[in-house]
Amino acid sequence: MEETPRSVGEASTTNFVVARPSAKTDDAVTMRGCGFGNFGVDREELRRRIVMPEYLRLAMRDCIKRKDSTAVPDHLVLPGAAAAATEELAPHTPMVVFINPKSGGRHGPVLKERLQQLMSEEQVFDLTEVKPHEFVRYGLACLETVAAKGDECARECRERIRIMVAGGDGTVGWVLGCLGELHKEGKSHIPPVGVIPLGTGNDLSRSFNWGGAFPFAWRSAMKRTLHRATLGPVAKLDSWSIVVSMPSGEVVDPPYSLKLSEETALDQALDAEGDVPPKAKSYEGVFYNYFSIGMDAQVAYGFHHLRNEKPYLAQGPVTNKIIYSSYSCTQGWFCTPCVSNPGLRGLRNIMKIHIKKAYCSEWEEILIPKSVRSIVVLNLDNYGSGRHPWGNLKPNYLEKRGFVEAHCDDGLIEIFGLKQGWHASFVMAQIITAKHIAQAAAIRFELRGGDWKDAFLQMDGEPWKQPMKTDYSTFVEIKKVPFQSLMINGE
C-alpha cells in the first residue's frame, strides 16, 4: 500500500498540502526562488517561527557531538511534570539548515554566518563538520529521546521540523538519502526538504520553485527564503535505487552516494545475456534527478576533476558553466573524426537496455539508436540548468508512443538520448527535443567492453569512470524506491 503524506509525517503541521510543482517560466521561478518578493519579513517574527528553545538546541548539539542520541545532559532534560508546567512552546515550524561550503562559488562560510544570525548557531550545520546521517541518527533521535521523557515541546519540534539545504543537487540528494533511513525504520514524521540553490544546475531547486541561481542580493533574500520555507506546501518526489554489479577485482572510485554492497541485488526474473562473472562486486545507491551514461558523463568527469585540482576556477555557477562548455569542446563530442573507431561514436556497440513498463512484470529489450552517444534517465522535468529535453509532448504523440505525461511523482522515469554535441546543444537551447527512447518503471543496462576500456557514468551530477571487461558484463539496474521523498514547494 502506498504511503500517504499524513502517514509519513507532518500530520501536525498546519501547512501540509501535497502539491505538484507548478509550471512556470524559468525567469519567474528563479526570481521567486531566490527570494525576491514584494513583502518584508520581520526578523524577530521569523525567529519565533523557526528557532527551537535553547535547551533543545543544546541537547541536539551534544548528542551529535558525542554520536549518542541518549547522551542528553541531565540539566537539559526536564521531568515530565516540570516539562508540562514550563512555558516553553514549540515554534510554528522549527527548522535546520545544512550548508555545503564548496557550493555557490565557495560562499558557504559567509552564508553560514548570515544564517546563524537569522536563526541560531546550533540549527545551522556545515556539512564538512556534521554529516546528514549524523543529524538523523543523533539529532532527530535526541528530540525523540527527550520527548519520550514527557517533554511536549520536544515532541512537537520533532513532528514539525523542516530542513533547508544550501547546496547543489548532489547535496540535496545526500540529505534526502539520509532521511530515507527513517522510512526504512518505519518512522513517522519525515522532515520535508527545501533548497537554497548554490549549485551549478540546481534542477531539483527549479523543479520545486526555489529558483535556479545563487541570488546576488542574498543577504536580504535569505529572510524571505526561510519565511517561505515555513509556509510552503509539501510535494512528493520519486526516488530511484541503482545497483552497479561488476566483475570482482575491478577498481572503481564511485561517488559518495554509491556504497559497496555485500550482495548482488539484481532482478533474477531477467536472465543475463552476457557472461556473468563467477564473482561480482556490487554498489548500491539512490538518485533523485538523473542518471546518465556516455559522453555527457565523460565531460562531467573531466570537469569534476579539473575543479578539484584547481578550486580557484570554481568561482560561481556562471564561471562553472563557461568552463564546462569549453571543456566539452575538447572531449570529441562535437567532432569525432570519421577515421575513429565506430565504437567511439555510439553506445549501442557496448550496451543493451531492458525495461519494465508501467504495470508490467515482464522485461523487454529496447533498441538504442545507433547515433546516440549519451543516454539519460530523467526523473525530473528539469535537466541541465532548467532545460526540458523531454519536451512538452502533445497528447497524440504520447498516445502513439505509449507514453504518459511525465511527472516527478508518477512512478515512471524517462529515457532519452543525445547524439553528437551539436544535437545536444540544440536540445539544451530547447530548439528541438531529445531522442525519446522509452518510459519505464525499471531499467537494466548491460555494458560490455571491447572498443571502449572504460565507460563514464554519472548520477545526480556525481560522475565516475567505470572499467569494463571484454570477458564479462557489467550491469546497472534501476528500480523505484518503495517510498517517496518529501519536498517543500517554494511557490
pLDDT digit string, tens, across residues 112-139 = 888 999 999 999 999 999 999 999 999 9
- Contact assessment for residue 464 and residue 453, using Cβ atoms and an 8 Å cutoff: no
CA 317 – CA 205 distance, rounded (Å): 14
Q: Are residues 392 and 445 in the same domain?
A: yes
- Contact assessment for residue 257 and residue 462, using Cβ atoms and an 8 Å cutoff: yes
- Contact assessment for residue 59 and residue 142, using Cβ atoms and an 8 Å cutoff: yes
CA 310 – CA 319 distance, rounded (Å): 13
Query: Would you state the pLDDT for residue 430?
Result: 78
Q: Are residues 157 and 280 in the same domain?
A: no
Q: Are residues 228 and 289 in the same domain?
A: no
What pTM was estimated for this model as a whole?
Answer: 0.81
Chain centre to alpha carbon of residue 387: 17
Of 6-15, 222-231, 386-395, give the lowest mean pLDDT range. 6-15
Beta bridge partners of 443: 355, 478
Query: Would you state the pLDDT for residue 274?
Result: 56
Domain ends where: 232, 255, 270?
A: 232
CA 157 – CA 383 distance, rounded (Å): 35
Range of the domain at 195: 43-232
- What is the residue whose three cell numbers read 520536544? 154
Which whole number is the average pLDDT over 320-346?
Answer: 50
Q: CA distances (Å), 424 to each of 366, 373, 381, 416, in order?
A: 22, 10, 17, 11
Going by pLDDT thresholds of 50, 70 and 90, the confidence category of residue 413 is very high
Q: Are residues 139 and 276 in the same domain?
A: no
Instruction: Decide if pLDDT at 77 tops 80.
Output: no
Of 186-200, 218-232, 249-263, 315-329, give the lowest mean pLDDT range. 315-329
CA 431 – CA 321 distance, rounded (Å): 19
Q: Are residues 392 and 435 in the same domain?
A: yes
Query: Would you state the pLDDT for residue 329?
Result: 52
Query: Would you state the pLDDT for residue 216?
Result: 64
Query: Would you state the pLDDT for residue 359?
Result: 86
Report CA torsion sign: 316, 318, 324, 326.
negative
Q: 205: which residues sit within 8 A by CB, 6+ positions away?
A: 33, 169, 172, 195, 196, 197, 199, 211, 212
Question: What percentage of residues in the chain have a pLDDT greater than 70?
Answer: 75
Cell of 265: 541485488
Examine residue 454 and state whether it is found in any structural domain, yes or no: yes
Instruction: Decide if pLDDT at 452 tops 80.
Output: no
Examine residue 13 and state whether it is found in any structural domain, yes or no: no
Query: Between 103 and 183, whose confidence is greater?
Result: 183
> In what order do the strands lie in the sheet containing 95-99?
124-126, 95-99, 162-167, 193-197, 485-488, 234-237
Examine residue 171 and state whether it is found in any structural domain, yes or no: yes
Q: Are residues 186 and 222 in the same domain?
A: yes
Q: Are residues 228 and 244 in the same domain?
A: no
Question: What percentage of residues in the chain have a pLDDT greater than 90?
Answer: 43
Query: Between 86 and 284, whose confidence is greater?
Result: 284
Selection from 120, 188, 126, 127 nearest residue 160 by Cα:
188
Instruction: Decide if pLDDT at 16 tops 50.
Output: no
Q: Are residues 276 and 215 in the same domain?
A: no
Examine residue 326 and state whether it is found in any structural domain, yes or no: yes
Instruction: Decide if pLDDT at 13 tops 70.
Output: no
Query: Would you state the pLDDT for residue 308?
Result: 63
Query: Would you state the pLDDT for residue 24?
Result: 46
Which class for 43: exposed (0-12), middle (13-18), buried (19 or more C-beta within 10 A)?
exposed
Q: Are residues 123 and 222 in the same domain?
A: yes
Domain ends where: 213, 232, 251?
A: 232
pLDDT digits (tens, 9 = 90+) for 151-205: 999 999 999 999 999 988 888 998 999 999 999 898 989 999 999 998 878 899 9
Of 72-86, 135-149, 164-178, 243-257, give the lowest mean pLDDT range. 72-86
Beta bridge partners of 416: 376, 436
Examine residue 420 and state whether it is found in any structural domain, yes or no: yes
Q: Are residues 331 and 219 in the same domain?
A: no
Instruction: Decide if pLDDT at 35 tops 90.
Output: no
Strands 162-167 and 193-197: parallel
- Number of residues in the chain: 491
Examine residue 36 and state whether it is found in any structural domain, yes or no: no
Q: 482: which residues sit within 8 A by CB, 6+ positions away?
A: none
Q: Are residues 350 and 448 in the same domain?
A: yes
Of 69-83, 340-354, 445-459, give the lowest mean pLDDT range. 69-83
Going by pLDDT thresholds of 50, 70 and 90, the confidence category of residue 310 is low
Number of domains in the chain: 2
Domain ends where: 171, 199, 232?
A: 232
Query: Would you state the pLDDT for residue 30?
Result: 46
Query: Between 28 and 457, whose confidence is greater?
Result: 457
Q: What is the CATH number of the domain that holds 400?
A: 2.60.200
Going by pLDDT thresholds of 50, 70 and 90, the confidence category of residue 78 is low
Mean pLDDT of the chain: 81
Instruction: Decide if pLDDT at 278 tops 80.
Output: no
Chain centre to alpha carbon of residue 151: 34
> In what order do the strands lie in the sheet containing 413-418?
435-440, 413-418, 374-378, 290-294, 454-459, 462-467
CA 325 – CA 270 distance, rounded (Å): 39
DSSP H or E stretch at residue 26? helix 26-33
CA 385 – CA 203 distance, rounded (Å): 6
Examine residue 30 and state whether it is found in any structural domain, yes or no: no
Report CA torsion sign: 239, 228, 28, 215.
negative
Query: Would you state the pLDDT for residue 73?
Result: 74
Beta bridge partners of 458: 292, 463
Instruction: Decide if pLDDT at 29 tops 70.
Output: no
φ, ψ for residue 294, nearest 5 deg: 120, -150
Of 5-9, 130-134, 341-345, 426-430, give the lowest mean pLDDT range. 5-9
Q: Are residues 192 and 246 in the same domain?
A: no
Examine residue 277 and state whether it is found in any structural domain, yes or no: yes
